[in-house]
Structure 1
Amino acid sequence: MNLVIGLLAAIAALTHVYIFVLESFRWTAPGTRRIFGFSEQAAESTRELAYNQGFYNLFLAIVTVVGLALWPAVPAAGVALILAGTGSMAAAALVLVTRDSRKMRAALAQGAVPALAVVLTLFTF
């Protein structure tokens, strides 16, 4: 079970690093605008907000990766950080979909794997 939790947490972290890159560095690129459903004008006007939001996603990934790194040596700290990172990712996805139900696909993309990691971690420890 630990291997599955570790893989899910790592996938969640990598997904959020990818989101970080899209939001912080590629926000106005045509492919990124298509992914997020923004016009060129809307992307340009929200560029600074997206840049900041991208870093939130990066920090969640970092917390999760540090938890994965600590887990073998300091299990309690590792599990706590994994839960903090993946739990925040899952909660952010929940906020996204409760604010706008049309964002269900995006919420599932960013939140399903972290939510699975949280559930498995809670049932395991």
Structure 2
Amino acid sequence: MLLPAKIIIGIVALLHIYFLWLEMFAWTTKAKKVFRTFPEELFEPTKTLAANQGLYNGFLAAGLIWSLIIQDAVWQVYVAMFFLGCVAVAGIYGAATASKKIFMVQAFPAMVGILLLLIHQFL
């Protein structure tokens, strides 16, 4: 797999590990500073929901990391495309329903990774 694509995949995976930590372990502390538009009084009652969301982010990160260690070059790309696609769709949905900022933080990097993989496949 192309080195720039691997770097983007690594960055997206690290972002999702950060989201996991933030939503599962720091929801009532650090997340209050990150999600300033979310009413402060709702952090404690939504702690379990946020942890569930964080777990899904962890699965995305695990899939992206898995794509980087697969030995078969074809499957490496397939797995990376699948998980980057999941991240892109989640980011687009989040941007449409929660905050436009989510597009740039989540969907855009995943879409860049997909584009790099496609360019590598067809050139």
Q: TM-score, normalised by structure 2?
A: 0.91
- In structure 1, list runs of 5 or more residues that go unmatched: none
Question: Are residues 1:119 and 2:115 paired?
Answer: yes
Q: Where does residue 60 of structure 1 map in the other structure? A: 60
Distance in 2 between the 1:97 and 1:2 partners?
29
Structure 1 residue 65: Cα displacement: 0.6
Larger helix share, 1 or 2: 1
Q: How does 1:7-46 map to 2 (within 5 A)?
A: 7-29=7-29, 31-37=30-36, 38-46=38-46
| AA partner of residue 6 (structure 1) | K
Q: Structure 2: which 5+ residue stretches go unaligned?
A: none
Query: Which residue type is aligned with residue 121 of structure 1?
Result: L
Per-residue deviation, 1:34: 2.0
- What is the CA deviation profile of residues 36-62 of structure 1, one whole-angstrom value per residue up to 9, with x for unaligned ones? 123332111111110000010010010
Instruction: Give the whole-Å Cα distance in 2 for the aligned partners of 1:82 and 1:99.
Output: 26
Aligned Cα RMSD in Å? 1.4
The separation in 2 between residues aligned to 1:104 and 1:39, in whole angstroms, is 18
| SS of the residue 1:24 aligns to | helix
Which SS does the other structure have where 2:113 is aligned? helix
Count of residues paired in the alignment? 120
Q: 1:19-78: per-residue Cα shift (whole Å, max 9, x none)? A: 00000110000x3112112333211111111000001001001001101101xx201111
Runs of 4+ more than 6 Å apart: none
Report the AA paired with residue 117 of structure 2. T
1:108 aligns with 2:104: yes
The amino acid of 2:10's aligned partner reads: A
